[in-house]
């Protein structure tokens, strides 16, 4: 591939937001999907671009191919981060005089926002700021706890208008680990979430365990293989996103085959709160069945957390 074409492709890819990268590359339809699957899209953008350019070189991309990529990029409404910042700050200041807003650009087309809230009569409280991370061209923003809950609607409005989205998605999902939240929201949890040594095949792992304990009988071996297989099918063979808890609120009417009694006459539903806590909840859940603490498969209410993108659940009667 000509050096001029390689440089043209490199500069074009550098303009593409990370959140739109896969979409645009698929629309380009020059690199096969099986090749794209070999690329680590979670590395630094400069390294990613280099890997993509090397793939283009191996396929001998022409100037026409590079021009087509450029046209596809022009068709996409590329996000103007400076305009977003200006619009976001103006909306807050119009509604609230005493507010301090600071920005810091981050990787993957994200911006960190620090907001110190004041009131009409008090200066901003710099000791209790709210932190927001917004990823351009997505309807998602990650926020820290807002001490002034009355300002939450204003924050949501500013994000919605400045980002040119109809709404900012509110999810029942909380964690102290931004990378884990991002992995769940952007459906990246089925990739290698962090460096993970999983080179040992499942069968080899089971055989090693059996050699360690020769008393395991045939039935136990089959059951152990089943548990390992079900666990792997449910959670995959990669580290899980890091969440510290999952909370379930249950509201149900009392049901009994026997008539009468105080509970049977109760009109209000019975309410119960169940909370699972762990420094690494999903990994803890993943280890329950192999450790013999729970049956496999686990309840879908426990295994659906990454797919549903939530760790707050309300369970009511249908």
Structure token digits, residue 139: 């309807």
pLDDT at 18 over 80: no
Looking at every residue in the chain, the average pLDDT score rounds to 81
CA distance 221 to 227: 10
- Sheet (strand 312-316) strand order: 270-277, 245-252, 312-316
* Residue-wise pLDDT tens digits, 199-249: 334 443 344 444 545 555 556 778 888 888 888 888 887 788 899 999 999
Q: Which of 26, 30, 136, 13 is nearest to 70 (CA)?
A: 13
Residue 304 neighbours by CB under 8 Å, 6+ apart: none
The four Cα atoms 276, 197, 34, 17 give a dihedral, to 10 degrees, of: 60
Least confident span in 216-220, 259-263, 276-280: 216-220
Q: Which of 138, 145, 136 is nearest to 169 (CA)?
A: 138
* Residue-wise pLDDT tens digits, 120-159: 888 999 999 999 998 887 778 889 888 788 888 899 899 9
CA distance 69 to 200: 40
The region that residue 71 occupies, defined by phi over 0 for left and psi between -120 and 50 for alpha, beta otherwise, is alpha
Is the CB of residue 315 less than 8 Å from the CB of residue 248? yes
Q: What are the structural domains, with CATH classification, of the chain?
A: 3-76 (no CATH), 81-170 (no CATH), 215-316 (3.10.20.720)
This prediction has a pTM of 0.58
Is the CB of residue 23 less than 8 Å from the CB of residue 137? no
């Amino acid at each position: 591939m000509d050096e001029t074409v390689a440089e043209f492709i490199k500069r074009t890819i550098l303009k593409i937001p990370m959140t739109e990268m896969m979409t645009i590359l698929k629309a380009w339809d020059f690199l096969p999907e099986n090749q794209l699957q070999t690329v680590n899209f979670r590395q630094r953008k400069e390294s990613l671009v280099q890997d993509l350019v090397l793939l283009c070189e191996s396929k001998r991309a022409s100037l026409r191919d590079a021009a087509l990529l450029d046209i596809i990029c022009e068709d996409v409404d590329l996000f103007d981060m400076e305009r977003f910042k200006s619009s976001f700050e103006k909306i807050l200041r119009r509604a609230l005089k005493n507010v301090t807003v600071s920005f810091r650009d981050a990787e993957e087309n994200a911006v960190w926002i620090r907001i110190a809230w004041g009131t009409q009569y008090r200066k901003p409280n710099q000791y209790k700021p709210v932190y927001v991370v917004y990823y351009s061209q997505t309807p998602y923003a990650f926020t820290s706890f807002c001490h002034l809950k009355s300002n939450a609607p204003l924050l949501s409005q500013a994000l919605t208008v400045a980002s040119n989205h109809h709404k900012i998605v509110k999810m029942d999902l909380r964690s102290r680990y931004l990378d884990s939240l991002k992995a769940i929201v952007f459906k990246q949890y089925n990739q290698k979430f962090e460096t993970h040594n999983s080179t040992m095949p499942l069968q080899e792992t089971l055989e090693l365990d059996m050699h360690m304990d020769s008393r395991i009988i045939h039935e136990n071996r089959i059951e152990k293989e089943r548990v390992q297989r079900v666990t792997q099918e449910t959670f995959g063979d990669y580290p899980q996103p890091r969440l510290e808890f999952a909370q379930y609120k249950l509201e149900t009417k009392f049901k009994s085959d026997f008539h009468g009694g105080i509970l049977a006459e109760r009109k209000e539903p019975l309410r119960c709160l169940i909370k699972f806590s762990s420094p690494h909840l999903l990994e803890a859940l993943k280890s329950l069945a192999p450790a013999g603490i729970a049956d496999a498969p686990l309840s879908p209410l426990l295994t659906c957390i990454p797919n549903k993108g939530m760790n707050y659940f309300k369970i009511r009667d249908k």
